[in-house]
Structure 1
């Protein structure tokens, strides 16, 4: 079981780093569509800055999940919180019907909503076990 949990944590870390880099590179423009219109007013950042910041946070959390084993539970909680924090953007994208990288249909956008609780559970399970 230990190998499975460690493998799940490494896979989660790799996905976070890959997602983060996509926010900073090829997907950057498309991800701005996902940012709800109220988010810039709330944060004081424009949509592009929010996408860049979220990408940087994903990279840092992915690296921290591996590089900080003594802090893995705390890091896992922060990763889960990030997945919860981006849910309004996923709902916004589904409600507006806007395409974003890898989410070019209503079905894909709707299915993405159900992935979010799985990601939260994955983050907690893979960092709190052992």
Structure 2
């Protein structure tokens, strides 16, 4: 891929790959994400599967230049929308948790990472076609 093309499409395609991978993980391994759903929302499965489908839709929109602006804005909104789940996971985290995602260091470190992800999605939305 020529440098100018990579510079123009690379950030959107990289974000699409990240969200697409996460979306597939939500659908294939929902148990990883169940602890992120606040108990007040009830059964976590529809939320986990719905957010996985939303991530896949955002990834698809980011991958197509004609829908990239919408994909970037939708991705930013999705990333802001799932932030309470990340907070829930951090609050519930325990040193003896099964799997790395439920451990306090990982769960709390994940929270500030949401800021650059949202900024990335907004930057992609602002890119000229």
The two structures have a TM-score, normalised by structure 2, of: 0.85
Name which one, 1 or 2, has greater alpha-carbon Rg: 2
Q: Which has the higher contact order (CA 8 A, sep 6+)?
A: 1
8 Å Cα contact 1:87/1:116 also seen in 2: yes
> What is the CA RMSD across the aligned residues, in angstroms?
1.9
**Within 1, Cα distance between the matches of 2:119 and 2:50?**
23
Change (3 A) 1:104 1:47: closer
Structure 2 gaps of 5+ residues are none
> 1:76-115 maps to which residues of 2 (within 5 A)?
76-97=72-93, 99=97, 102-115=100-113
Q: Number of aligned pairs?
A: 123
TM-fit CA distance, 1:100 = 7.7
Equivalence for 1:38: 40
8 Å Cα contact 2:12/2:68 also seen in 1: no
Equivalence for 2:62: 65
8 Å Cα contact 1:33/1:100 also seen in 2: no
Change (3 A) 1:102 1:7: farther
Q: Which runs of 4+ in 1 moved over 2 A?
A: 1-5, 98-102
Secondary structure in 2 matching 1:103: helix
The two structures have a TM-score, normalised by structure 1, of: 0.85
Structure 1 gaps of 5+ residues are 41-45
1:6 partnered with 2:9: yes
**Within 1, Cα distance between the matches of 2:112 and 2:86?**
10
